[in-house]
A and B are shown apart, each in its own frame.
Chain A
Amino acid sequence: MPTIQELKDRVNAAIDRQADQLIKTAKTILNNPEPGFREFKTAKLVGEVFDSFGIAHQDGIGITGLKGYLDGATQGPTVGVMGELDSLKVQGHPHVDSETDAAHACGHHCQIGMMLGVAAGLQADGVLENLSGRIALMAVPAEEYIEVAYRDDLRREGKLEFIGGKPEFIRLGALDDVDVAMMTHTSSNSQEGKIAFGGTNNGMVAKRIRFLGRASHAGGAPWLGVNALNAAMIAMSGIHAQRETYQDAHTVRIHPIITQGGVAVSSVPADVRMETYVRGANTEGFLDASTKVDRALRAGAMAVGGSVEITTLPGYLPIQSDESMLDLYKVNAASLVGEENLVRLQHRTGSTDMGDVSQLMPVIHPYVVAATGNGHGIDYVVQDYELGVITGAKAMAMTVIDLLSDGARQANRIKAEYNAPLTKDSYLSLMRGMLKEGTYTK
């Protein structure tokens, strides 16, 4: 029987043999960016690679998601390995799709490469037969919580309930059979060494907002109009006026965009639309801020004598990484990049729906520092594909070996020691409880 190290060596060698193909796949995705719940080309590509690996897969989960399995020799827990299908939208990014503004300015294209790399590695000769349990390989849609109005319309049409891919996976039962999960994200922060892990993330709710006024000739009869853009401006001032009331520890972030600011410059804007997140390190922090944002939005409408429709949508929950899983991962990562290149993270103020998964099962969400530039900016470009795809894949595949070898001793221990903050049912109730829709008129 091979040792764990021998299994890992076989896995790594298999990933190295496939390296060119994996990196090519990542770059193909980079050049075909698609925002969440629209990742049709990307999903098709992932399906084809699964097919080429001989991995049966279910498609169309949460519109575009995929899931396939690798089975170990004996029964045991299921380890989810995830990659995210979706791009952002960032105008002016070097890899932007000029028709849609979609761009992989957050490195998700490498995630699919990593997830497929794990699949390639674990399919190496004599590996799966020494593992107990299953590996669920998942390509998940829509981690970037954007195009809120579009997705909220899908929600209203019954095509979605939640606006993010993993909450949809949870709702649809796609994670029901998964016991522990992992995913690796890219990073560009040079302070984070080569591989960074641990730490926490902000949770959030999102808002879809529509200020309604009354159109009128902006030159001829502005007094007959009610200016919805001014309502939005006042609301934004009001949001900013309250920033001093947020506690540092809550790391509140509120960052609206106006998706429609009027339709003709000569007409008083009567229908102005905004989207915003309200983020915070804990639900107390972001729900308190959400109440304050609502007050400011209502005040904007009140000030101009208009009305405002506010839909507050459940967003993402704060992440907590499982320390025991990190212990395993760390050793593997150190063997690949050297211990001196590992960095333990503190709190990140972005959000991810891996946070939601982390409330239900042990999860890790490390980062491979393979990019340069500013995340979600025009200059966020993955430079080191060896690290961004191949090393990231190896570190996860090696951790899967740790979890599921030796009769899945580690996976079972981690599962047993994990204290889930939420069950699927309580998670769904919590999320549904955050949904709030209302129209406020003076």
Chain B
Amino acid sequence: MSTLEDLKAKAQAAIDDRAEWLIRNARTILDNPEPGFHEIKTSRFVSEKMSELGIDHESGIAITGLKGVVQGGKPGPTVAIIGELDSLRVLDHPHTDPDTGAAHACGHHCQTPMMLGAAVGLMLPEVLENLAGNIAFIAVPAEEFIDVEYRWGLHQNGTLGLMAGKQEFIRLGAFDDVDMAMIVHTASDSQESTKFSIGGTSNGHVVKFVKFIGKASHAGGSPHLGVNALQAAIVALNALNTQRETFQDQNNIRLHGILTQGGVSVNSIPADVRYEGRVRGRTAEAIADANGKMDNCLRAGALTMGAQVEIVTIPGYLPMKNHQGMMDIFKQNAIEIVGESEITTHPADRNRGGSTDMGDLSQLMPVIHPYTTAATGSGHSVDYVVQDYTQAVVNPAKAMAMTVIDLLYDDGQKAKELIDNHTPLFNKNSYLNFQNSRLTEERYIGE
């Protein structure tokens, strides 16, 4: 029987052998960015690569998701390695698709190659037969919760239940057979100063889709016969800003949004103005408080103008909870790859401010969501560019493969121990009930 160290060394060597291929795959995805639930090309591409590696998999989970489960030498727990398929939309990013505005300004293009890289290491016959349990390779759609109106439409026509990738995977049962999960995200040198960082948490959120309904009229000839929905939105957004002093610092509240329609003809009073927004915070209570304040302001905008407002509140993400035991294992492997000085461990309450649906999964099972610092620039911005593809793809693939080996080696003792000692906040049913309870629709008539 091979030693743990042998297996890890062989997995690392195999990944190194395919490093160029992995990086090329990442660049292909970078050049073909597709936002969430639109990742048709990306999904097909990743599917082909999974097939090349001999991973049988299911496609079309939550529209574009993929999942293949590989069995070890013996039965045991299932560990998932996840990569995200979707891009953002950022105009003028150096890798923007000019037709769609899509761009990988968050580094997700490196995540499915990391997953493929981990598979390269773990699917060595010698490695697999020494593991007790399964490895689920999962490519999930739509981590960036954008295109809210589009997704709300998919929800309304029954295509989607929950409106983000991992949420919908949970609802569809795609995580039912998974016991623990990991994903590695890229970071830029503006956020982190070492090659790997682990720990910390993220904000939870709810998502808003808002329509201000006014009355169209000639904006020059008869503005008095119109009801200006754009002014309603502006009053609402100004009002929202006055609420910021009421948010407690430790709750890390973030309110932000975009106007997706601000009118259709400049000479007609805007009668249908649309807003997509986000209410983020550290806890569900803080989010609910801020969300209630946002709704007050949205209604106040409508009331001011004698307009109406439709407010859809969509269940968003839960705060990320990194599993300590898994982190410890990942950290040791990361040290082996890049050295101890290149690891940062954040305290559990260190909140990055953003949100991820890995947070949802982390409330159901042991999860880690480390970062690999391989980019420069500002996340979600025009200058967020992955520079160091070895650190972006190859090293995280190795770290994840090694962590799986640690978990499932020796009859999966480590994984079993962590799973047995873990008390999740939710089970699938209570999670779905909670999320569904956060979905609300309201029509307020201002008069």
Contact = CB atoms under 8 A, between A and B. Distances in A.
Interface of A: 218, 222-223, 225-227, 230, 233-234, 237-238, 241-242, 244-247, 268, 292, 295-296, 298-300, 302-305, 442
5 contacts: A227-B245, A241-B234, A242-B231, A245-B223, A298-B303
Contacts of B245: 218, 222-223, 227, 268
Interface in B395-447: 446-447
Contacts of A299: 235, 239, 299-301, 303-304, 446
A246 B304 contact: no
Contacts of B304: 238, 241-242, 295-296, 299
A234 B238 contact: yes
A222 to B, nearest CB: 4
B242 A230 contact: yes
Given A299-B300, A299-B303, A299-B304, A237 B246 contact: no
Interface residues of B, number: 32
A163 B232 CA distance: 34
A246 B224 contact: yes
Given A223-B248, A246-B224, A295-B306, A303 B300 contact: yes
A305 B223 CA distance: 31
B46 interface: no
B300 A302 contact: yes
Q: Which of B232, B242, B297 has the most CB of A within 10 A?
A: B242
Contacts of B223: 244-245
Contacts of B228: 241-242, 244-245
Interface in B213-264: 219, 223-224, 226-228, 231-232, 234-236, 238-240, 242-243, 245-248
Given A222-B246, A299-B300, A245 B235 contact: no
Top-7 shortest CB links A-B? A238-B304, A303-B300, A299-B300, A303-B239, A230-B242, A241-B231, A299-B303
A273 to B, nearest CB: 18
User: Helix, strand, loop or mixed for chain A's interface?
Assistant: helix
B288 to A, nearest CB: 14
B299 A304 contact: no
A227 B301 CA distance: 17
A247 B303 CA distance: 21
B300 A292 contact: no
B100 interface: no
Given A299-B299, A303-B297, 19 more contacts: A222-B245, A227-B242, A233-B242, A234-B239, A234-B242, A241-B235, A244-B223, A247-B224, A268-B245, A295-B303, A295-B304, A299-B300, A299-B301, A299-B446, A302-B300, A302-B303, A304-B296, A305-B293, A305-B296
A19 to B, nearest CB: 51
A295 B240 CA distance: 17
Contact of A245 (B224, B236, B248): B224
B334 interface: no
A305 B447 CA distance: 18
Contacts of B246: 222-223, 225-227
A292 B297 CA distance: 17
A225 to B, nearest CB: 7
Nearest to B292: A305
Contact of B300 (A218, A268, A300): A300
Nearest to B249: A223
Interface in B302-339: 303-306
A194 B246 CA distance: 58
A303 B236 CA distance: 8
Contacts of A226: 246
Contacts of A305: 293, 296
